Structure 1
Amino acid sequence: MNRQTPQSDNNQRYFTIWRWHFYAGMFVAPFLIILACTGLGMILMSNTLGRDNDRLTVPTSESMVQAPVATQAKNALGTLPDSTLIKYIAPRESDTVALFQVVSEGHDNMVAVNPYTAEIVKSIPTNSNLYNTFDDIHSDLLLGRVGDYIQETTASLTILMILTGWYLWWKKRKSVKAMLIPNDNTTLKKKRSFFRTIHGTLGSWISIVLLFFCISGMAWAGIWGERVVQAWSQFPAGKWGVAPIPLSIDHSQHHVGMDMDNADAAPHVHGATPAIVPTHGDALNTGSTKDVPWVLELTPMPVSGTTMGENGIAPNIPIMIDTVDRFVREIGFEGRYQMNLPQGATGVWTISQDSMSYDMKSPTADRTVHIDRYSGNVLADIRFDDYNAFGKFMAAGAAIHMGTLGLWSVLANVLFCLSVIAICVSGYIMWWQRRPRGIDEMIGLNPPARHLNLSVWWPFAIPLLVVAVIFPTAIIAIVAIALLDFLVISRVDFLRKLLK
């Protein structure tokens, strides 16, 4: 059988990088298809029903006035026995429902309420709709930490695949213009040339966006995101004095709580600093759903019962859900916002509005306010301008990644997801078309330049390894595959024939 041999160093380098690109693509393509399909699902659900049915509509007229939030909350609490109110989400529009998260033993429900009549419209378990199913698959394949690691490895290796893909397409086209707008008369005549053009051209067009999506997505992941980037990018909490020793509280000027508040409010708070101060993510995220801006997720929460804060609710006004709602409207919150009620003796009122939670379109309007449950003082008022550089990148990145910037970003995300699927499918079609026709040759992966011993091109390999080291799961995967190849695959004939 005739076997192709490299005719020059350039051919050797091309085949080497092609083989790297091939192996990376064979691993990541199935997961990229899953990410693209679930991304499409989330875009569809968030723009139709909403994450928690928050887009359900109710009849309205100009003469109708919204019922007190406390009345709406009381009816929501009545859907579960001995329940506690965790969160209130204000209506998105004048004709949409208000949402209340209520929990009792063994139950955690999101209750949609007509804000005018206070009637229950719908009640479902929190994070139980189709959006959250897509979100769970998108983030960890329903496999928890293992799935999170797989998805992070997929994104890491995709970055390496993009770099090798640029090289391969550049060698074929020799100019950026030809990479983006190929002029190939053989394209329509040869099937493989057609799919190669689709693969390379689409890849060139969306590669920068895909690179951006990989980095912004990995910033949420458990290793590169949580342990490397988020760890040093978190918002400094010292401005509100995290975990101070609570002071005695005089309630002669403030009524604490609300008419239907089941939180464990204490009339006086004494004693030592709490042993554990929860982070924003621990206190405010619901299950696997990310409700907290990235830069705040690992930042410790402030606590109630201190001398911190100022410019809050007036001392002669009782601190109840309706007065807090009125206050946050006065300080600039409009439309849909989220109010997390204080839980426990040192819990705080947290009011937030950000594009990542689909509250509004612009990430530059992000705002999180913490209010002391006893004094009514504003402990922190955090806005987009207060984020560090990477926090701003992630706020904007999440909006682009999730398509929350308006109709144009929804359509752009749909087109991007379809392009990713097309690139993956065209890659598999090219692989299938290139397979040898002999019976023996049909077995295995049949990588490019099969049967050739290709040496490592270190001038290109070293930069790739440097990039891999930046993203820990990539270098772990490369080392693991190298050890597997050396210890097992190269020593077992069947595996060597299957994979090489």
Structure 2
Amino acid sequence: MSRMSAASHESVERGKSLYFLTWRWHFYAGLFVVPFILILAVTGIVMMFDGEIEQARYSDILQVTPQHHQVAVSQQLAAVQSAYPHGIVTEFIPAQAVDVANKFSVRMADGSDRFITVNPYSGEVLGSIDRTQSWYQLANGIHATLLIGDAGDYLLEIAASLGILLLVTGLYLWWPRDNASRSGFLKIRFGSGSRIVMRDMHANLGGVLSIVLLFFLISGLSWTGFWGKTFVQTWNSFPTYYTYGEKPQSKPMTHASLNHGTEKELPWNLELTPMPESTHPVMEEQPMAAGAPSMAGGQPEEAHDHSKMGMGEVHAMGHGALNIDTIMAKAKQMGFGYYRVFFPTGATGVYTVTANTMAGDIHDPRDDQTMHFDQYSGEVLMGVTWQDYTLFAKAMAAGVSLHQGDLSPLNKWLNVVFCLSFILIAVTGGVMWWIRRPAGKGKLSVPPRFEQAGIWKVGLVTLILIGVAFPLAGLSIISVLLLDWLLFSRVARLRYMLS
């Protein structure tokens, strides 16, 4: 064999080895990632239509007839308190349309949260919606934690991280290198059999949408409990200082404490930032009988012995607290359009007024605004707007809108198309494997491995880079390599199944 032909043969063998190595890791990553892609895509579609779903399910207590005048929000609040005397009002969410009811979030005595709907024109309480029973809450819980807490969050983070590996290896397999790969590039060969059709749909759709999939994976990872919170959110949270007033001496709650369940209602970059505190006015204490009403922030106060009161009962305490009408007037003066209001918690709690893309309040992230008001004086204790965000936090705020389909109806429907496409990519990959596998032999039909030192170095470097960038994916890859070395390659039955 001549030197040229030997070099050519070596190049072909090297390319073949690299192809099968890439395919092997693409297969392994797909085994883990595909079920999660299906889960995330389906729940994502449900979440994008939460408004329409809620309106259809509860139209009898959400639909109202527009009138010329609305009653004061404080009167609506009083009606809610009268209807639910043992509940604690935590949040006010005004309607975004003139024919829809306002909502107050109320924490019940059993710890559950309910939306209480109120006709803004008459002040009549229309009904209640269990927040934990909404389709959005269910879909969001699955989307965020698989309904199993931190363990689910970590599994989803591993899946999204390995999704990067799946994407990189898939792009390599899709990109044309020879006549065989060029024959199916950017076209579907309908006359070449079902497996080829599945392959062309899977590869071309995945390749064309690779940037879109990467965006969803990275923006989704930014919300995760380990990579997002440890490596991204901590670096890009708003500095712990207060635009107005002094930093509280006690250890305050963080902004994340205002979220209800898995719903994200505060800006992502503020979640780890401590809340400011109201300063109780110095005044002579007047004796009060237990149960005597005190409109502190519009909330009832029972007594001053905090040690005998539950968390909910301490909500919004303090003499002389301002009511919600005053706070809303101040918010409008500061340029707020649409916004939601969180009520003070305890004697040092604050009114929080926010409009942000994370909660879906607004569509343009440049209008993000969160303000905290002293519940007694109405003074602004802390204010954060788009201009205060770090560069990454701005990118995250914009990414949230795109990810959730909030920017426009076009954004929403494109996201639906993308989700359906991801489902099709996952399903065609599974069908392609099912057709390829040897039926009835109990084998996974893993792509073969061709050992070649140089190729393994390339693969190892790729795996290390992904592992360093996404630690949970790195741990998963190391675990698989160890299992392959210690168990799969040494047990004949397992070696046969994985062949």
TM tier relative to shorter chain: 0.7 to 0.9
State how far apart, in whole Å, the 2-side matches of 1:232 and 1:388 are: 9
Pair 1:291-2:291 in alignment = no
Superimposed CA distance per residue, residues 397-432 of structure 1 (whole angstroms, 9 cap, x where no aligned partner): 111111111210111110000000000111111111
Q: Does the CA contact (< 8 Å) of 2:244 and 2:382 recur in 1?
A: no
Q: CA deviation at 1:65?
A: 0.8
The aligned counterpart of 1:457 is 456
Pair 1:139-2:144 in alignment = yes
Alignment of 1:52-451 (within 5 A): 56-61=62-67, 64-106=68-110, 107-172=112-177, 182-183=186-187, 186-240=189-243, 244=247, 273-274=249-250, 276-282=251-257, 284-305=258-279, 319-335=322-338, 337-436=339-438, 439=440, 442-449=441-448
Q: Match for 2:237: what amino acid?
A: Q
State how far apart, in whole Å, the 2-side matches of 1:59 and 1:454 are: 74
Q: CA deviation at 1:371?
A: 0.8
SS at match of 2:191: coil
Q: Does the CA contact (< 8 Å) of 1:179 and 1:201 recur in 2?
A: no
Q: Does the CA contact (< 8 Å) of 2:277 and 2:374 recur in 1?
A: yes
Q: 1:393 to 1:180 in 2, by over 3 A?
A: farther
- TM-score scaled to structure 2, two decimals? 0.84
Q: Does the CA contact (< 8 Å) of 2:86 and 2:108 recur in 1?
A: yes
SS at match of 2:175: helix
SS at match of 2:103: strand
State how far apart, in whole Å, the 2-side matches of 1:292 and 1:188 are: 53
Superimposed CA distance per residue, residues 457-480 of structure 1 (whole angstroms, 9 cap, x where no aligned partner): 322431332122111110011111
SS at match of 1:118: coil
State how far apart, in whole Å, the 2-side matches of 1:92 and 1:9 are: 61
Superimposed CA distance per residue, residues 358-391 of structure 1 (whole angstroms, 9 cap, x where no aligned partner): 2122122111011111221112221112110111
SS at match of 1:491: coil
The aligned counterpart of 1:250 is none
Q: Match for 2:252: what amino acid?
A: V
Q: Does the CA contact (< 8 Å) of 1:240 and 1:302 recur in 2?
A: no
Q: 1:359 to 1:53 in 2, by over 3 A?
A: farther
Q: Does the CA contact (< 8 Å) of 2:53 and 2:135 recur in 1?
A: no
SS at match of 1:49: helix
State how far apart, in whole Å, the 2-side matches of 1:50 and 1:43 are: 13
Q: CA deviation at 1:171?
A: 3.8
Q: Which 5+ residue runs of structure 1 have no aligned equivalent?
A: 1-5, 246-272, 308-316
Q: Match for 1:290: what amino acid?
A: K
Q: CA deviation at 1:342?
A: 0.9
Q: Match for 2:384: what amino acid?
A: I
Aligned residues with identical type, % of pairs: 38
- TM-score scaled to structure 1, two decimals? 0.84
Which of the numbers 14, 23, 32 marks the counterpart of 1:18? Answer: 23
SS at match of 1:127: helix
State how far apart, in whole Å, the 1-side matches of 2:328 and 2:179 are: 61
Q: Does the CA contact (< 8 Å) of 1:156 and 1:474 recur in 2?
A: yes
Q: Match for 1:26: what amino acid?
A: L
SS at match of 1:198: helix
Q: CA deviation at 1:125?
A: 2.3
State how far apart, in whole Å, the 1-side matches of 2:107 and 2:470 are: 39
Superimposed CA distance per residue, residues 470-494 of structure 1 (whole angstroms, 9 cap, x where no aligned partner): 1111001111112222222223222
Q: 1:454 to 1:49 in 2, by over 3 A?
A: farther
Q: 1:175 to 1:45 in 2, by over 3 A?
A: farther
State how far apart, in whole Å, the 2-side matches of 1:482 and 1:420 are: 28
SS at match of 1:396: helix
Superimposed CA distance per residue, residues 221-264 of structure 1 (whole angstroms, 9 cap, x where no aligned partner): 1110111211121101213479745xxxxxxxxxxxxxxxxxxx
State how far apart, in whole Å, the 2-side matches of 1:215 and 1:160 are: 12
Superimposed CA distance per residue, residues 186-211 of structure 1 (whole angstroms, 9 cap, x where no aligned partner): 44332222111111111112111111
Q: Does the CA contact (< 8 Å) of 2:240 and 2:273 recur in 1?
A: yes
State how far apart, in whole Å, the 1-side matches of 2:207 and 2:376 are: 57
Q: CA deviation at 1:16?
A: 0.7
State how far apart, in whole Å, the 2-side matches of 1:87 and 1:95 are: 21
State how far apart, in whole Å, the 2-side matches of 1:105 and 1:85 are: 11
SS at match of 2:381: strand
State how far apart, in whole Å, the 1-side matches of 2:179 and 2:87 are: 66
Q: Match for 2:77: what amino acid?
A: A
The count of residues paired between Structure 1 and Structure 2 equals 448
The aligned counterpart of 1:255 is none
RMSD between aligned residues: 2.7
State how far apart, in whole Å, the 2-side matches of 1:281 and 1:160 are: 31
Q: Match for 2:69: what amino acid?
A: V
Deviates more, 1:229-238 or 1:408-417: 229-238
The aligned counterpart of 2:307 is none
Q: Does the CA contact (< 8 Å) of 1:89 and 1:339 recur in 2?
A: yes
State how far apart, in whole Å, the 2-side matches of 1:225 and 1:334 are: 30
Q: Does the CA contact (< 8 Å) of 1:110 and 1:124 recur in 2?
A: yes
Q: Match for 2:242: what amino acid?
A: K
Q: 1:73 to 1:84 in 2, by over 3 A?
A: same
Q: Match for 1:200: what amino acid?
A: A
SS at match of 2:371: strand
SS at match of 2:358: helix
SS at match of 1:122: strand
Q: CA deviation at 1:180?
A: 10
Q: 1:187 to 1:421 in 2, by over 3 A?
A: same
Q: Which 5+ residue runs of structure 2 have no aligned equivalent?
A: 1-10, 282-319
Superimposed CA distance per residue, residues 278-315 of structure 1 (whole angstroms, 9 cap, x where no aligned partner): 11102x111121111111111111111199xxxxxxxx
Pair 1:33-2:35 in alignment = no
Deviates more, 1:487-496 or 1:224-233: 487-496
The aligned counterpart of 1:470 is 469
